[in-house]
Amino acid sequence: MEFIGIGNYIRMFNDQVFFIALRNNLMVVLVSVFGQIPLGLVLAYMLYRKMVWKSNIFEVLIFLPITISSVIIAQLWNRIFSPVGIFTSFMRMLTGNQDYIMTIVEDPNFAMVPIMFVLLWQHTSLFMVIFLANLQRIPNSTIEAARIEGATEGNIFARIIVPMMGYVIFINSVLAISGSFKSFDLIYSMTGGGPAHFTTVLAVFMYNTTFVHQNYGYGSALSIIIILFIALSLLLTRAVTKIFKVE
């Protein structure tokens, strides 16, 4: 072993796989912040306002994915997307093409789409429960007063609920961003980062570099960069909340 200074960092920023992994991680962040959190808030509001039939059963069904191991979920969705899976059978029936197979994972621009869909399905329930717990602290008189004044459900949601949930949205954003950069188990179990690194994220890239290829110096440098990206993202989130005066 020898000390090489910032050699690993120079290598990193000249490594095409690193930029593929970074791009994929940013896509996971986007689907987490702008997909899981808004959808979680909408579902929580529907439960809070009792807009669904059998709300207890609905809540259990939505919350179920987060209680299942990510490895099991990965295997489940791999079967669904496989050439003999439900999705393939449905698309063959829909298109009339009996030779249809899902090739989106072979496209470098869209290979992450199935993974992002599964992440959305799995983790939305966590944010729904957090929002629901905080919605239940809002006095019913606040909602009833708005209804008496003629506010619609849309107005109540946009002008009362969302502003009152501002700080909860910030907390959920912190959880979503930090969790996105740590994404490993589901992606590794579904694709292992392949094919051709199309679905590699920073955590998978770091794991393969360190423990598969046994390049511990480069892997350590990658882990430091992951931490820095998480810290930078959280500082940026905090700055945005200050701009919009979220309390």
Find the range with the poorest average confidence among 16-25, 97-106, 172-181, 196-205.
97-106
pLDDT of residue 182: 86
Q: What are phi and psi of 211, to 5 degrees?
A: -100, -25
Q: What mean pLDDT do residues 97-116 have?
A: 90
- Is pTM beyond 0.85? Reply is yes
pLDDT tens for 28-55 read 999 999 999 999 999 999 999 888 888 8
Residue 168 pLDDT > 80: yes
Torsion of CA 151, 152, 158, 163, to 10 degrees: 40
Task: Find the angle CA(112)-CA(113)-CA(118) to the nearest 5 degrees.
Answer: 100
pLDDT tens for 185-229 read 999 999 999 999 999 999 999 999 999 999 999 999 999 999 999
pLDDT of residue 60: 86
Contact (Cβ atoms closer than 8 angstroms) between residue 156 and residue 46: no
pLDDT of residue 224: 95
Please give the Cα distance from 218 to 226 (Å, whole number): 13
| Run of H or E residues at 186 | helix 185-190
pLDDT level of residue 239 (50, 70, 90 thresholds) = confident
pLDDT level of residue 244 (50, 70, 90 thresholds) = low
Residue 247 pLDDT > 70: no
Helices (H), ranges, the chain: 7-12, 16-31, 37-48, 55-67, 70-81, 86-95, 113-135, 140-148, 153-156, 162-164, 166-181, 185-190, 202-207, 216-243
Q: What mean pLDDT do residues 57-69 have?
A: 89
pLDDT of residue 53: 83
pLDDT of residue 69: 93
CATH topology for 7-243 is: MetI-like fold (1.10.3720)
pLDDT tens for 114-164 read 999 999 999 999 999 999 999 999 888 888 899 898 889 999 999 999 999
Q: Where in the chain are the domains?
A: 7-243
